[in-house]
């Protein structure tokens, strides 16, 4: 997934580039002067090869295509990256769009350059269902390449930044699509890697392309700030500088101006007006060392009173992307708030340039904390993607993680873990280890037992209580927020479903064989193996799962295995009919294979029947369900089911109620249902006038006796005029 615009190839015969070196190449070499003579010669050689390979290819703006990769390399040179990165940037589209191959690059510039270019290359040669799938698969490939070399993502981000800077040549539809992808994926990735300068420009350019009129209005308002505000900024700045000078603290004091995107986001998310957002003054103090940072914090707190609960120490507890700084908010003059960030020079470099701030490839030094955190993040993503079913699922999962703000919690041993804001104790469990999450039963938060769905706050100390008997539940997917937890739960549920399906399928096939005087154990091994091979199945378990899921009829399989299909056992269409004598008893643990029809919501105690449905397994209906007559046309799919004496679990039942249409009626009904030890799953008004409201409640019950108790309680309420089960 490299250049986002189509290449326009002009039918011009290839020719070597001009001996005159263009200004844009000289600009690149000036920006990369830190590399030294030999590396600059390699850089010039890369330009010559790239220019020759891209000859005749033009951008939509009319410029030679080579101007784009050179501009990408210049963006990286301004970040101080190594020579291989800049060479790979110049050549990042050659494998995809020119006759040059990966082997050519490896021979000329080495394996490192070839590997990086290959990682950035798009998957245009593959066929996808739609653009979204293509984007997702390209993203997955890119993440795999990043795991091998982080320089891949730096080139990709620089590539996207230059394309955003030159987006004007694209159509309105393309501008909107590219800008949305930038805001949803690339800007958050830059933020996750700590590259705030690049992130801020991507966000602003994306906002400008998505909402040009809103961007223009906000930018005009920012530029036309009232004189009073400008005077206030000067006064606050001079007061801070004067007080710090008295304390003999060497520092750099920078006033921060909000971007249109940050203002727009605050206005939209926090429902604030422009004046409210702008009524905050921002400053950054860059100090010599950590001790000076805390000294400076005391100085600014003595100058202006701090706002309670608005102090954050990211030096002691860095963010997940390596960001470190002290944040405080003060009551300033004119009644306005003053936001102050305090950090060292090194922290400032990491905050602005992230993993590019301490690039280790050029000097072979040890990895910086920012780079180590970036690698850990990428590795965790790749671990998750192994358990996802498709590139699209992985892509959407990563997007969810990227958009979350962070909270920092402590493990029982005192380790700090960063989680998305609104993360639950269960998210923490899966962050510790997948097995801890799969077997979690409750959590101990700050020493108190709490449900797994409890949301965590900064500084919480969390301990997970586990038991080997605990297994993931589908309801867990409703409250976890991390992609790691969501992926692990889905994977485990699928595994449990497969195991349940094998067990149910075994029981169904055995009973079908009993009707023919046989059993699975009595089928000759050779016959069974031959049948599996004929139907392209590797193991008996696969056949049993297919039977349980309704994709194979047990009667047909049984007849084929014993090679017996008599007329007495055939229906009108010649297919065997199997109506078992023994019931398949439901005990409540087969939820992954047996489902309950929403049209009649059967519960334990109801007379029921099962219908074998392809892809769904056995769907259970009440015997008096309005849909049952239709199912009689397919007796071969009937399954004789009943309730086990020890059936357990919660089941849904639907009630239709006529209520007195007055204030508080619904609250009374809800309270009565809760007192009867039941939960309301859904509520909807069917009809309503000034006197009566007809409401449909879907509630959780254990069995018919529990439902009868709930109905009795509800009938005692004066607001309930009528009630019946649907």
For 679, list phi and psi in degrees, rounded to 5.
-115, 145
Task: Clarify whether 339 is annotated catalytic.
Answer: no
DSSP state of 282: E
Q: Is 96 a catalytic residue?
A: yes
Strand order in the sheet with 680-688: 680-688, 692-701, 651-660, 720-725
Q: Decide the pairing of beta strands 651-660 and 720-725.
A: antiparallel
Query: What DSSP element (H or E) covers 577?
Result: none
| Candidate list 29, 82, 93, 97, residue with the active-site label | 97
Pairing, β 337-344 against β 280-287: parallel
Helix, strand counts (H, E) of the chain: 29, 22
What's the half-sphere exposure (Cβ side, CA atoms, 13 Å) at 624?
A: 5
Give strand pairing partners of 685. Answer: 695
**Sign of the C-alpha dihedral, residues 433, 434, 439, 442?**
positive
The answer to whether the CB of 271 falls within 8 A of the CB of 330 is: no
CA distance 198 to 153: 12
Distance from chain centroid for Cα 373: 18
Query: For residue 430, which of 386, 492, 372, 371 has the smallest C-alpha distance?
Result: 492
The partner residues of 694 in beta bridges, in order of sequence, read: 658, 687
Residues in contact with 212: Cβ distance below 8 Å, sequence separation at least 6, in sequence order: none
Do the beta carbons of residue 72 and residue 155 sit within 8 Å? yes
Q: Pull the structure tokens for residue 270.
A: 């926090």
Strands 440-445 and 406-410, bridge-based pairing: unpaired
List own/partner pairs for 618-624 with CB under 8 A and 24 or more apart.
618/504, 618/548, 618/550, 618/584, 618/593, 618/594, 619/594, 619/595, 620/586, 620/594, 620/595, 620/596, 621/597, 622/597, 624/600
Q: Encoding tokens for residue 201?
A: 């420009």
- Asked if 682 and 700 touch (Cβ cutoff 8 Å), the reply is no
In this structure, the number of other CB atoms found within 10 A of the CB of residue 723 comes to: 19
Q: Are 323 and 192 in contact (CB under 8 A)?
A: no
How do 584-586 and 641-643 pair as beta strands? parallel
Residue 226, burial from CB neighbour count under 10 angstroms (0-12, 13-18, 19+):
exposed
Candidate list 82, 93, 96, 590, residue with the active-site label: 96
> Rounded to whole angstroms, what are the CA distances from 623 to 508, 591, 607, 609, 619?
20, 20, 6, 6, 12
**How far is residue 439's CA from residue 683's CA, in Å, rounded to a whole number?**
33
Length of the chain: 726
The owner of tokens 């930018």 is 219
Contact 91, 104 (CB under 8 A): no
Q: Cβ(326)–Cβ(293) under 8 Å?
A: yes
Q: Which residues are catalytic?
A: 96-97
């Amino acid at each position: 997934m490299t250049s986002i615009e189509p290449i326009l190839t002009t039918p011009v015969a290839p020719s070597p580039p001009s001996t005159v070196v263009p200004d844009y190449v000289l600009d690149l070499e000036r920006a990369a002067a830190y590399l030294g003579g030999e590396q600059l010669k390699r850089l010039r050689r890369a330009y010559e090869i790239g220019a020759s390979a891209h000859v005749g290819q033009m951008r939509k703006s009319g410029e030679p295509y080579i101007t784009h990769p050179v501009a990408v390399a210049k963006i990286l040179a301004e970040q101080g990256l190594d020579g291989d990165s800049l060479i790979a940037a110049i050549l990042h589209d050659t494998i995809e769009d020119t006759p040059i191959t990966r082997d050519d690059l490896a021979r000329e510039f080495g394996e490192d350059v070839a590997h990086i270019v290959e990682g950035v290359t798009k998957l245009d040669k593959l066929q996808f269902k739609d653009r979204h799938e293509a984007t997702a698969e390209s993203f997955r490939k890119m993440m795999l390449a990043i795991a091998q070399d982080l320089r891949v993502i730096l080139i990709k981000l620089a590539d996207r930044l230059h394309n955003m800077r030159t987006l004007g040549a694209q159509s309105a539809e393309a501008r909107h699509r590219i800008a949305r992808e930038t805001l949803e994926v690339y800007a958050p990735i830059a933020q996750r890697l700590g590259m705030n300068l690049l992130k801020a420009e991507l966000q602003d350019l994306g906002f400008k392309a998505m909402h040009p009129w809103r961007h223009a209005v906000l930018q005009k308002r920012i530029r036309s700030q009232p004189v009073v505000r400008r005077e206030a900024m000067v006064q606050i700045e001079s007061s801070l500088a004067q007080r710090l000078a008295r304390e003999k603290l060497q520092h750099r004091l920078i006033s921060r101006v909000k971007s249109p995107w940050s203002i727009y986001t605050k206005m939209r998310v926090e429902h604030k007006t422009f004046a409210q957002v702008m009524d905050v003054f921002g400053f950054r103090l860059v100090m010599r060392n950590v001790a000076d940072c805390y000294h400076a914090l005391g100085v600014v707190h003595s100058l202006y009173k701090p706002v309670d609960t608005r102090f954050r120490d990211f030096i002691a507890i860095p963010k997940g992307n390596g960001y470190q700084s002290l944040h405080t908010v003060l009551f300033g003059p004119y009644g306005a708030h003053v936001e102050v960030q305090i950090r060292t020079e090194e922290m400032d470099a990491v905050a602005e340039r992230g993993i590019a701030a301490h690039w280790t490839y050029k000097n072979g030094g040890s990895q910086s904390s920012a780079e180590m955190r970036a690698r850990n993040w990428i590795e965790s993503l790749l671990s998750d993607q192994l358990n996802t079913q498709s590139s699209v699922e992985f892509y959407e999962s990563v997007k969810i993680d990227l958009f979350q703000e962070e909270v920092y919690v402590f493990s029982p041993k005192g380790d700090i873990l960063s989680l998305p804001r609104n993360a639950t104790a269960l998210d923490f469990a899966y962050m510790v280890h997948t097995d801890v999450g799969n077997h979690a039963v409750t959590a101990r938060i700050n020493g108190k037992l709490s449900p797994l769905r409890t949301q965590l706050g900064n500084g919480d100390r969390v301990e997970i209580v586990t038991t080997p008997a605990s297994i993931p539940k589908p309801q867990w997917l409703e409250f976890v927020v991390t992609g790691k937890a969501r992926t692990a739960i889905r994977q485990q549920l699928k595994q449990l479903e497969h195991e349940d399906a094998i067990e149910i399928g075994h029981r169904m096939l055995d009973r079908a064989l009993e009707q023919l005087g046989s059993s699975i154990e009595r089928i000759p091994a050779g016959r069974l193996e031959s049948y599996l091979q004929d139907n392209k199945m590797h193991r008996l378990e696969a056949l049993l799962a297919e039977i349980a899921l309704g994709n194979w009829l047990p009667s047909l399989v049984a007849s084929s295995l014993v090679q017996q299909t008599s007329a007495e056992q055939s229906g009108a269409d010649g297919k065997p009919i199997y109506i078992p004598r023994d019931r398949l008893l439901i005990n409540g643990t087969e939820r992954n294979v047996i489902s309950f029809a929403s049209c009649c919501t059967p519960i334990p105690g109801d007379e029921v029947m099962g219908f074998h449905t392809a892809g769904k397994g056995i769907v259970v209906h009440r015997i008096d369900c309005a849909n049952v007559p239709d199912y009689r046309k397919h007796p071969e799919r009937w399954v004789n089911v009943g309730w086990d004496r020890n059936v357990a679990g919660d089941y849904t039942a639907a009630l239709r109620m006529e209520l007195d249409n007055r204030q508080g009626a619904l609250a009374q009904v809800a309270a009565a249902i809760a007192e009867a030890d039941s939960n309301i799953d859904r509520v909807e008004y069917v009809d309503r006038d000034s006197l009566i409201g007809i409401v449909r409640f879907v509630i959780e019950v254990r069995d018919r006796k529990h439902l009868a108790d709930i109905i009795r309680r509800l009938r005692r309420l004066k607001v309930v005029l009528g009630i019946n089960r649907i």
